[in-house]
Amino acid sequence: MYKIKEVAKMLGVSTATLRYYEQEGILPNIKRVNGIRVFNDEDFKWLRVLNCMKKINMPIKKIKEYIDLAMMGDSTLKERYHLILEQKEFIKAEIAKLNNCLKEFEYKEWYYKTAIKAGTEAAVKNMPKSSPTLEIDEIPVKIKRKDL
């Protein structure tokens, strides 16, 4: 058995966060011994999923919906499956955004490294437009009105 402080440390969250989750009904079956919350190995299945859901900024209301469906058992398998697929698509979109940010920062890393080596930004700014490393700094083509 684990105390709330131990669980919070293992998950990298505060004890207040775990208390809030319990208050919101998204930590099912948390037991108390002499008034103290105790967690067991089985609780970590919920905590892992919950932690992932929070990391992707899934709203508490949506998390609660998932937990409620899970507590209903097999009759909600399809609903839970679709909810997870929906969140998976959200995660993929977030990863794509982060990958674009990573490309931008990799470009900036190259940019500054090159400028520092040359002692001036002019060395980077005067590079030929055909340089593949400058692709990220290109201004996107305007979107035509009908495409909106």
* Domain extent listing, the chain: 2-57, 81-138
Instruction: Output the pLDDT for position 126.
Output: 74
| 3-class secondary structure, 88 | helix
Distance of CA 61 to the CA centre of its chain: 17
Instruction: Output the pLDDT for position 111.
Output: 85
Instruction: Output the pLDDT for position 84.
Output: 94
**Tens-of-pLDDT digits for all 148 residues of the chain?**
889 999 999 988 899 988 888 888 888 788 888 888 889 888 888 888 888 998 898 998 999 999 999 999 999 999 999 999 999 999 999 999 999 888 888 888 888 998 999 999 988 887 766 554 555 555 555 555 555 5
The class level of CATH for 2-57 reads mainly alpha
Per-residue HEC secondary structure of 93-127 comes to HHHHHHHHHHHHHHHHHHHHHHHHHHCCCHHHHCC
